[in-house]
Amino acid sequence: MEEFADLVEQYEAMVFRTLARLTGEREGLEDLAQEVFLRLFRALPHFQGRARLSTFLYRIIVNVVNDEWSRRQVARRMDPIDEETQVLVDSDPGPDELLEQSLFRDALEESLAQMKLRDRAILILYYQEGRSYGEIAAILDLPMGTVKARLHRARERLKDTMKEWIQQCKAKC
């Protein structure tokens, strides 16, 4: 148990950071992280060490997010959207450059959130987590060629979405 507590302490920041990036949310991360570490605890006796523990953990994180995503889709189908409960929050305007950066970050996060989880996961693992093609292939259990192709396609989809945002932004300015 003491060794597991050390693992939790060692990987806690990475787990929370990756969960936040994959889900695009800050709420409920504790529950998701708890599920990740519970699954890790259950799986450790079967861990054969063919990959690094961090790679194994990333795979668990992606699986937990996939399960959460599926659960939310079922819940959305059963609960109609109430437009009155949706509130847009304006950020405090600062200097023009800070505002533009903030808007761009928001648009990027929104674009990532609207992407399929597999595209979002591969982009986040590569760009934000700095994982190599080989590590991503191990995490997602895909051939390296598939990882490269999916990363390229996901990058192109994100680029197209962001081009639309830039055009809209220029039209408003």
- Residues 6+ positions from 66 with CB-CB distance below 8 Å: 117
Fold match between 1-81 and 91-173?
no
CATH number belonging to domain 91-173: 1.10.10.10
Q: Give the pLDDT score at 143.
A: 94
Helix and strand counts by DSSP (H, E) for the chain: 7, 0
Q: Which residue in 52, 33, 18, 43 sits closest to 122, CA to CA?
A: 18
pLDDT, one tens digit per residue, over 76-112 is 555 544 444 444 444 444 566 666 667 777 788 888 8
Averaged pLDDT score across all residues of the chain: 81
Q: Give the pLDDT score at 90.
A: 47
Domain ranges of the chain: 1-81, 91-173
pLDDT, one tens digit per residue, over 121-163 is 899 889 888 888 998 998 888 999 999 999 999 999 988 888 8
pLDDT at 13 over 80: yes
> What CATH class has 1-81?
mainly alpha
How far apart, in whole angstroms, are the C-alpha atoms of residue 45 and residue 74?
A: 32
How far apart, in whole angstroms, are the C-alpha atoms of residue 1 and residue 41?
A: 9
Kindly state the DSSP code that residue 27 receives in the 8-state scheme: T
How far apart, in whole angstroms, are the C-alpha atoms of residue 54 and residue 108?
A: 26
Q: Which residue in 99, 118, 115, 125 sits closest to 157, CA to CA?
A: 115
